Structure 1
Amino acid sequence: MKFAEVRDTSVVGLDIMDVLKRNPNGRVGILSITNEMDLSGELKIYHNHLENLILERTEELRSINEQLQKEISKRKRVEELLRREKERLRNYIDVVGIMILVLDVDGSVSLINRKGAELLGYDEDEIIGKEWLSSFIPEEEQDKVKNAFSNFLKGDFRKNLENSILTRFGKKKLISWTNVPLLGEQGCVIGCISAGEDITDFRLSQEKLQKYAADLKHSDELKLLLIDILCHDLLNPANIIKGYSEYLLETIDLEEKKEIVEKIHQQNERLINIINSASMFGKLESTEMISFEELDLLELLGKVFREFLPLLEIRNITLECYANGSYPVYANPVIEEAFSNLVSNAIKFSPQGSCIVLDILDCGPSWEVTFTDSGIGISDENKDVIFKRFKRFSSEGTKGSGLGLAIVKKIVELHDGEVGVYDNPSGSGSVFWIRLSKIQPS
């Protein structure tokens, strides 16, 4: 077959002229054309396969790109949320009234809030990145703080510490710190978060208060010393005078001289009573603690009654007690002094030949001890005043130091009790009363 007779022998991807050019004789064999046609078929198959692969990869890339865009959008949203939360956290730590400080493991400041910067006297950007110890701790405290920080990083998480900081202007401020560790992903300590409160003024006030308390204690000790001097050094000569005056009253026959000695004796007795009353009141005001024991009120009234028998006989006054039975309370024996003062007052202000009545009433959770006299009575405006120091009332021939009822009130208050007075409902005179808590049955 001649080549000129061959028609339309071209195949996809094959140029017959190229074949001719490759054959120097200008002849192309049937086998060559067949081979070329087979190769072009394979190329076509490869081309189609390649196009399919490209389409598949393009689809995969498009899907991956869409997924990537979604992840990028999601990441941007997360980053935005984190940024907002970080701003919110920053706002929180900036508005709190204490210093917030974050230190890296090398002791550098990685965060400080506005309050901390204000305490130090710097802007925040002047503090961030600086070494905390050398920049803001007084030299004399640096070793102590360095050791504490080193131990903290090793796991000795002491939450509460105190040390001074040095401000921009060289002023020291005492800070009370609360510390917590800053942990990394592996649980290792990568820093320290500290909340610091300025306690400079508080500590100064505390020191002043302690000094005041020490001065007060010293003053109280001096007061007790003066009371002891009052009792010992004044009562001794007063008792000597009393002894001599009583001797003179027994031995002097002349009535005129006896009357003078009697006045001396009376005034000396008054002086002894004032000294005893002042001493009792001073010690009561100085007592911080008082011990209590179980006592019976009726037994205490019986003791007081026996003490006043001679005076009652002299004044021709009858003392009656309507109470009977048992009236237990927790009290200190000093309560007897309160009863004694009220009986003494009742005798002092009652007319001769009159009657004083003692009684104990049941008032639910407490006992009420009453002292009823038929004396001159007390006006309404004086009912509260008479229990204050040096506030007294008097009638003709009857005087007092103004301490007796103040002592009564103080003793009763030490027992968490109450004291008061009201008019005698049976006529003239007054009814003084003291209320003390009962011993409740277990």
Structure 2
Amino acid sequence: MSQILLLKRGNYKNLFEKIKKIGYSPFLISKLDEIKKGEISIDCAILDASQNIKTFFNFLVKKEVPVIIIIKNNDLNTALQFLKRGAYDFVPEPISEEALLIALERALERKRLIEERKRTDRLIDEYMKNVDKKVEELAKDLKESEQRYKELIENSGDGFFVMDMKGIIVYANESFSKIFGYSKGKIIGKNMLLLIHPEDVSKIKKIFRRDYKIPPIFEIKCIKKDKREVFIQFNMNRIKKGGNCVKIQGIARDVTLLKKKSEELEKLNHELFLRQEKLVALTHELEKKNFELARANNFKDIFLDIMRHDLLNPVGIILGITRIAMEEDSVEKIKEELEIIYRNAEKLRELIESASTLAKIESCSQLTFKTLDIMKILRKVIKQFEPLLKEKNMALVLTGKKTCYIEANPIIEEVFSNLISNAIKYSPEGGKIIVGVEEGKGEEEYENEVIIYVKDEGIGVPDEYKKGIFERFKRIKKEGVKGSGLGLAIVKRLVELHNGRVWVEDNKPRGSIFYVELPKQWRKLKRLSSKINGKYKKADL
């Protein structure tokens, strides 16, 4: 198992346990003398840069032991200084097991390579003792190898070249010459910069800088002998002698056709993308038109249904009672019959007004909003119904804060007018109606909502009608449900235009509770919630 050296200083125990946990064998020293004799094999050392480690560090680096430095507060300057002095790697505090494991594995691999190099050096030394006997044979093999290499380059389809540090081409194979349209004899001795397009000359000049790291593969725009532009893919590396760069050799490949095809493909992809976007836009527009057509057909059917059912009934009653009144002699009976005519005429007026309101909001896709006090609106609506409440000897209680502001259109008043009107209409005389307002309790999901409810003691709504009560067409068969359905259809449409939701629940033991959920600030709601037993939940409408 690999031996990892630690200094018995600072928080060494935590590091000691981490090294053991990831599968290595740490050992501790406190003095340099403990390892100077060389009796302990050291595979790697971990030293804390914040401690006095100079003597230990210099000794270990000299012995070619990979040293990992621990730095604090991501002090990269300190890490860089140690790396320049011979440290192999560094890890920042707090030390993660993963980072420690990676650093150790790399350091131990470095140690293995060092040991391998030493073994190789020993073998080379042994071999070199008898090298004189094999020099002639090796020289012959080398000459043959060079000849094979030269033939390989000369016959290659890629362009091979060598240039000096001034850019003068000193060697080029036949393929390289053909790429630029020159004969082999003409291109040798030419400056490489003259073959490069002016736009890319600066890229090639960087190659001659000794501090510049040449990319493995790069593309340059070049100019052929006939002045045509071509794109050449280069692979270059430096030839060094005595530690100095003396020449640059490389491979060149003409990728003009490939680049042209790539650009054409990119252009086609862009055109395809634009067409797809246009198709999506047309699809959305078609869906919108289909929706508007379906809504128009639906609305036409609503008005036909109103004409057939809701308007004809009171008209028939008015005609019948009028005919009877014309034959009556008694003033009292005529008054009673006129009263019936008046009520049905009033009903007709209400139906026509409701149908007109529904027509307006059905054709509306968006409203303008402003800040309104919902409590003020409710008090205004309730005041309008005070005569009717007094007539039926009913009590109406408004609960909630003094003010509650939301972003809405003033037409929202119609919603509460319809709900309160229905509550009065279907509740018994002497009954009680509660109108309440509850704001979000601060929970992230509900803090932007306001819930307004109207609670009555009327006949209630059977479960099988709860979902369809707000849809005019789902109420054509009206067994068990009173009214034309226009009022609740108006309520639903107006609430939807405010990005809200409306639903109904039972008011046990008798009656109904109509809930309206509205956002305080205008936005698209992703869900519908209702409140049951003090908790909000998603509803199915």
Instruction: Give the TM-score of the pair, scaled to structure 2.
Output: 0.40
More helix by percentage = 1
Instruction: Give the TM-score of the pair, scaled to structure 1.
Output: 0.48
Q: Looking at CA atoms only, which structure, 1 or 2, has the larger radius of gyration? A: 1
